[in-house]
Each structure stands twice: as C-alpha cells, then as structure tokens.
Amino acid sequence: MAIKRRNFLKSIGYSILGSSLLLPKKSTSSQKTEFNWKMVTSWPKNFPGLGVGAENLAKIINILSNNRIKIKVFGANELVPPLEVFDYVSSGGAEMGHSGAYYWKGKSQACQFFSSVPFGLNAQEMNAWLYYGDGLKLWEKLYMQFNLVPRPAGNTGVQMGGWFNKKINSPKDLQGLKMRIPGLGGEVLARAGGVPITLPGSEIFTALQTGAIDATEWVGPYNDRAFGLHKAAKYYYYPGWHEPGPTLECIINRDVYNKLPNDLKHIIDISCKAANIDMLADYTSKNNQALQYLISENIIIHEFPKKVMTFLRKLSMEVIDEIGQTDSITQEVYASYKKFQKEVIPWTELSEKSYINSRE
C-alpha cells in the first residue's frame, strides 16, 4: 500500500510538472509574436472625442497586449478619405478602422441600425441591445459578408439637433432645406422635403459658411465648438431626434482577426468595451463645459417646436418601417431592434425618465 501511494503521488507530481513545463512554452511562443497594425478613421487626427477616442482605443490595446499589438492611427485623409474606411479595411489595406456604421448604408441598409435610429434607442439602451440582446451577433452576421469584424467602440450620447441659418418654426421650414445629415435622419429629412447631404466632418464648416448647405448636424457642443460651427450659423437647435444614441464602431479585417491568438482577440474585445464606456463619459463631461462656453458667447439655443417634432416622429416611423423591409438581413436586424426597443422602453420610462423629471 505504501509503495502504491508513493507511485500515485509521484505520478501526480509528474503530471503537474509536465503541465507547468508545457504551458509556459506555449505562452512564451505566443507572446513573442508581435502585430503591427494600421487603424484608419473617419475623423481628423486627434479630433476631440471622436479622433481621441480612436487613439485611446489603440493605446488600450497596446497596453493590455503588452505591446504585442502595436497600432498606428491615421486620421481622415492621411491614408484614405473618411468615407472610404469601410472598403479599405475590408480589402486589407489596414487591419482596423474607426467610424460610424450609418456611413455604409450603400453597402446595406441594415448598417444604419448599428449606429443610430431616429427616435430610437439611447446610448444606455443601445449598449444593452448590442451586448445583451441580439445586436452584436446580428452586426457580426451582417459584416461577415464584407470580411469585417465589428465592435462597439464609443458613443456620444444624445446629440444636438444641429445648426441652422434660419429658424425652424414649422414643418414647412424643412422644405428645400439643404442639410448635412447622414443615415436614417437624412432619409427622414428627404421625406420632409429637405435635401440631405453627407459630408465628412472636416468639410462642414466651409460648406455652412459659404451657403453650400443651409444647416448641419454634427455631434454636440463639445465637437461643434471644436469645428467653430457657432461662427457659421445663427441658430442652435435641440434635441437630436435623429441620433439619440449614436454608436461608434471599430472594424477589424476578418482574415487578420482570425489569425490572432485567442487571448489577443479577447484583449481587442475588452479594449473596445473600455473605449465605448470612456467616450460616453468624456462626452457627458465635455459637452457640459462646451455648452457653458457657447452660452457665454451669446449663442441662443432653441428647442424644436412640438409640431415639428411630432411631424418628424411620424415620418421617422414611416421611413424606418419601409427601410426595415429592404431585404432579409435588414428585416432580421430591424425586427430585433424594434422588439428590444418595445421591451426596454417601459423600464426606461419608469427609471431614467421619471428620475430626471423629478429633478426639475
């Protein structure tokens, strides 16, 4: 019995020793592999919030991977124009990109639901749909056909309604209005008789100042001040009915992503979550500061008249329902989004909305 016991313990010891010798060899081999990546973005280099958010994401990945993934970030037009990020990453020109999914509606109408929907989910609800609903799974399914892996990587929170060079007193004032407004919001404006125009951020100020456009939405006080939009338009409107919870995306070339060790895949996923949370906190803080500045500069902030909001809400429901039937994948995404919104609204009304109302 004594001999058997010694042999048993010895065999366990050898097993443990064998495992301890084998595991570090695999880990060491993995950790010696380094990946030098490029990230292209739709934002000016180091632009507050958006551009800085891309830089922060790259830094987080670099730190958590212990320099095994090193990412060089390129601003808009440094490698490719801002609205060519999707194709460039898809083709492998860069390993990673940072942008907004609604810019790619030409690829699929379903893309827009992963950015922002007029009168739709706010930032908190959007994160819930993506992480704990079917959102991210459907996003991955959609982007698989484009050789991309998507991840939520930022959110600005509810945006402003935009800058206008004339007052918006009634729905009639939207007719013929040339406005920089992308995504589903642009579709709604077109239905209202306006002319939606998609422009990258770097071109907005000049277009507004020269009269090439009559109005623009961008983000909110933090970013609008950075572009000097208050120097190019008279009237600043709220709320941002068109973008209540705009999600920013990190896209990774699927071929490159699939070649990564599992631990680095997890590091990218966790880093994107961290960047997502950080950007929303940054905007919540900085929008407040920028708003106080704009007020000190005698900028008058207007609320959209109720009749205008009612009109836009009606058109939004029509547009979204129609686009949601475009094709099978868009139908699937829309059905999931709509179901989640219906289920989450009662809780948001009971919790967030009632609490905010109680502070007034």
Task: Provide the mean pLDDT of the chain.
Answer: 92
Question: 236: which strand partners?
Answer: 163, 301
pLDDT exceeding 90 applies to what percent of the chain?
90
* pLDDT value, residue 23: 34
Is the bond into 81 cis (omega within 30 degrees of 0)? no
- The Cα 337–Cα 356 span in angstroms is 25
What pLDDT shows up at residue 168?
A: 98
Q: pLDDT by residue (tens digit) across 210-220?
A: 999 999 999 99
Q: Cβ-count burial of 185 within 10 angstroms (0-12 exposed, 13-18 middle, 19+ buried)?
A: buried
Q: Over the stretch 55-110, which tens digit does the pLDDT of each residue have?
A: 999 999 999 999 999 999 999 999 999 999 999 999 999 999 999 999 999 999 99
What sign has the CA pseudo-torsion 71, 76, 79, 84?
positive
Quote the tokens at residue 69.
């993934």
Neighbours of 283 (CB within 10 A): 27
pLDDT of 102-156, one tens digit each?
999 999 999 999 999 999 999 999 999 999 999 999 999 999 999 999 999 999 9
Kindly report, residue by residue over 23-68, the tens digit of the pLDDT.
Answer: 333 444 445 689 999 999 999 999 999 999 999 999 999 999 999 9
- Phi/psi at 29 (5° precision): -60, -40
Per-residue pLDDT averaged across 216-231, rounded?
96
Structural domains present in the chain: 34-155+245-284 (3.40.190.170)
Q: Which residue has the tokens 């919540």?
A: 284
- CB-based contact 184:319 (threshold 8 Å): yes
CA pair distance 360, 358, nearest whole angstrom: 6
Task: Return the structure tokens found at 127.
Answer: 């994160």
- The pLDDT value recorded for residue 249 is 98
Q: Which of 351, 243, 230 lies closest to 296, judged by CA?
A: 230
Strands (E), the chain: 35-41, 69-74, 96-99, 148-155, 162-164, 178-180, 195-197, 215-216, 235-238, 247-253, 301-303
**What pLDDT, on the 0 to 100 scale, is given for residue 33?**
85
Supply the pLDDT for residue 32: 63
Position with higher pLDDT, 242 vs 4: 242
The pLDDT score that the predictor gives to residue 195 is 98
The CB density around residue 274, as the number of other CB atoms within 10 Å, is: 16
pLDDT of residue 1: 46
Give the pLDDT confidence score for residue 359 in this predicted structure. Answer: 93
Give the Cα separation of 80 and 93 in Å (integer).
10
Predicted pLDDT of residue 31 = 54
pLDDT at residue 11, rounded to an integer: 45
